[in-house]
C-alpha cells in the first residue's frame, strides 16, 4: 500500500510497504533434522540485515516497528514492513494545479560495494511501472507509473549498486479549479459585462470598485492554497496578478470616460489628442455658424419687407438690437423682443446640440476602450489555456 502527502515545499511524505529479500548462507538447515520445519520467524536484531537506505531521506518518519523477519531453510530472509519516508523532491509547480511531479526514491547500500551487497528487483520493471493497484488512489494525487532502473556508482575504485524508482504522479485539479480559478473567471466575466452600463449613470464605477474589492478579499482568503516557492512563480500566481491588473485598468478606463463626460468641448479643445478626435468625429462650430447665417438671413428678409435697416456685420450688432430706447416705436420694440427670443432659442439649441455631440464622442471613446480591453482579456485567456494545455499534455 502506498500513499503520498506533501508536508513542506520540496518534501514528500510517502508511506510505502517494502519487501526486502536476501540470501544468508549462514541461515541454512535441513528440514528433516528439525521435524520438517521449513520456515521460522526471527528477531531482526539477531541476524544480519543489509544497510539499505534511501538517498532522498530527509526526516525520520513514523514507521511502525516490525521486529521480526521470516527465514526459510534455504537461507532466504524476507523482511516485510511498512515504511514512512519523508524525502526530498524537486517540485515543478509552474503549471499548478495542472502539474505533474517526478519524485525519485533511490535505494542503495551505505557501506557495502556491489561485490558484497548487490541489489535487484524482485518483480520485472515493466510490471512494477504499470502496477498501481496497491496505491491509495482517493487522494489529491493520481499515480501514473513507477519506472525503475539499476545503475552503479564508482567511488574510489569500488562500485556501489543503486536502484532508482521514479514516482510519476499527477495532481487532481478539480478542487483548485472550483476554489481558485472559477471565482476569478466569474469576476472577470462580470467586469466585462459591466461595460454595458451607461458611463454617465455613475453606477459603473461603483460596480467595478465592488468587483475589485471582492476579488482582493478572495485572493487574501485563498493565499494558503497556493504552494509557496522562491525559485519560480507558478502560472496561477501570474494569472491572479494579471487579473488584478486588468480589473484596475478597467476601473481606470471607466474613471477616464466619466471624467471626460464632465468636461465641455471648449475645455478639451486645447488638447492635441482631443482636437484630433473632435476633427475626426465632428464639432459643433459648423452648426453654430450655419444657425447664425440663418438668423442673419431672416433679419435681412425682415429689413426688405418692413423697411427697417440694421447693421448685421458682426455678432455684437445682433445683441445691440436688444437695446431699447424711448424713441422706438411699438413695432420696433416687438421686433426687438422677437429677435431676443430667437437668439435665446438658438443659443439653447446650439448648447443642446453641442452636448449631444460631446456625449456621442465620449460614448465612441468608451466603445473603443472597451474593445481594446476585451481584446487584451481574450489574448490573455487564450495564452493561459495554451500554456496550461501544453503542460498537461506533456
**176-187 pLDDT, tens digit each:** 888 888 888 899
pLDDT in tens, 72-111: 999 999 888 777 777 777 778 888 888 888 888 888 888 8
CA 336 – CA 346 distance, rounded (Å): 15
pTM of full prediction above 0.75: no
Burial 161-190 (b: 16+ CB within 10 A, else e): bbbbbebbbebebeebeeebbebbeebbee
The β-bridge partners of 17 are: 82
pLDDT in tens, 19-42: 788 888 889 999 988 888 999 998
Inter-residue contact 219 to 78 (CB < 8 Å)? no
DSSP string, 237-283: HHHHHHHHHHHHHHHHHHHHHHHHHHS-HHHHTTSHHHHHHHHHH--
Q: Does domain 11-171 have CATH number 2.70.170.10?
A: yes
71 — pLDDT class (breaks 50, 70, 90): very high
Beta strand 158-171 with 148-155 is antiparallel
CA 338 – CA 332 distance, rounded (Å): 10
Residue with cell 487584451: 376
Task: Choose among 240, 271, 269: nearest CA to 357.
Answer: 269
CA 313 – CA 347 distance, rounded (Å): 19
Amino acid at each position: 500500500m502506498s500513499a503520498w502527502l506533501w508536508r513542506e515545499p520540496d518534501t514528500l511524505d510517502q508511506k510505502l510497504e517494502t519487501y526486502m529479500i536476501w540470501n544468508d548462507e549462514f541461515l541454512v538447515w535441513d528440514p528433516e533434522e528439525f521435524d520438517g520445519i521449513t520456515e521460522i520467524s526471527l528477531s531482526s536484531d539477531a541476524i544480519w540485515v543489509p544497510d539499505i537506505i534511501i538517498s532522498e531521506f530527509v526526516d525520520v518518519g513514523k514507521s511502525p516497528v516490525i521486529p521480526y523477519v521470516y527465514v526459510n531453510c534455504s537461507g532466504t530472509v524476507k523482511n516485510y514492513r511498512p515504511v514512512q519516508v519523508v524525502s526530498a523532491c524537486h517540485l515543478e509547480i509552474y503549471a499548478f494545479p495542472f502539474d505533474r511531479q517526478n519524485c525519485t526514491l533511490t535505494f542503495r547500500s551505505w557501506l557495502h560495494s556491489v561485490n558484497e551487497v548487490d541489489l535487484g528487483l524482485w518483480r520485472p520493471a515493466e510490471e512494477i511501472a504499470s502496477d498501481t493497484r496497491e496505491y491509495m488512489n482517493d487522494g489529491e494525487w493520481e499515480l501514473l507509473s513507477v519506472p525503475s532502473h539499476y545503475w552503479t556508482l564508482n567511488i574510489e575504485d569500488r562500485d556501489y549498486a543503486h536502484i532508482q524508482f521514479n514516482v510519476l504522479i499527477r495532481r487532481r485539479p478539480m478542487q483548485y479549479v472550483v476554489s481558485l480559478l472559477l471565482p476569478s473567471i466569474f469576476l472577470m466575466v462580470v467586469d466585462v459585462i459591466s461595460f454595458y452600463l451607461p458611463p454617465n449613470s455613475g453606477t459603473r464605477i461603483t460596480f467595478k470598485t465592488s468587483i475589485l474589492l471582492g476579488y482582493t478579499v478572495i485572493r487574501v482568503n485563498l493565499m494558503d492554497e497556493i504552494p509557496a516557492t522562491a525559485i519560480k512563480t507558478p502560472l496561477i500566481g501570474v494569472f491572479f496578478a494579471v487579473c488584478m491588473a486588468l480589473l484596475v485598468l478597467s476601473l481606470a478606463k471607466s474613471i477616464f470616460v466619466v471624467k471626460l463626460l464632465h468636461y465641455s468641448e471648449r475645455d478639451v479643445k486645447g488638447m492635441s489628442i482631443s482636437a484630433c478626435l473632435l476633427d475626426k468625429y465632428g464639432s459643433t462650430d459648423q452648426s453654430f455658424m450655419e444657425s447664425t447665417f440663418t438668423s442673419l438671413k431672416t433679419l435681412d428678409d425682415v429689413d426688405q419687407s418692413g423697411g427697417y435697416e440694421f447693421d448685421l456685420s458682426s455678432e455684437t450688432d445682433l445683441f445691440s438690437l436688444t437695446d431699447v430706447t424711448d424713441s422706438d416705436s411699438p413695432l420696433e420694440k416687438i421686433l426687438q423682443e422677437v429677435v431676443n427670443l430667437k437668439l435665446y432659442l438658438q443659443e439653447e439649441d446650439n448648447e443642446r446640440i453641442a452636448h449631444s455631440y460631446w456625449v456621442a464622442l465620449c460614448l465612441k471613446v468608451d466603445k473603443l476602450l472597451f474593445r481594446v480591453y476585451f481584446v487584451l482579456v481574450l489574448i490573455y485567456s487564450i495564452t493561459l489555456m495554451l500554456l496550461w494545455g501544453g503542460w498537461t499534455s506533456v
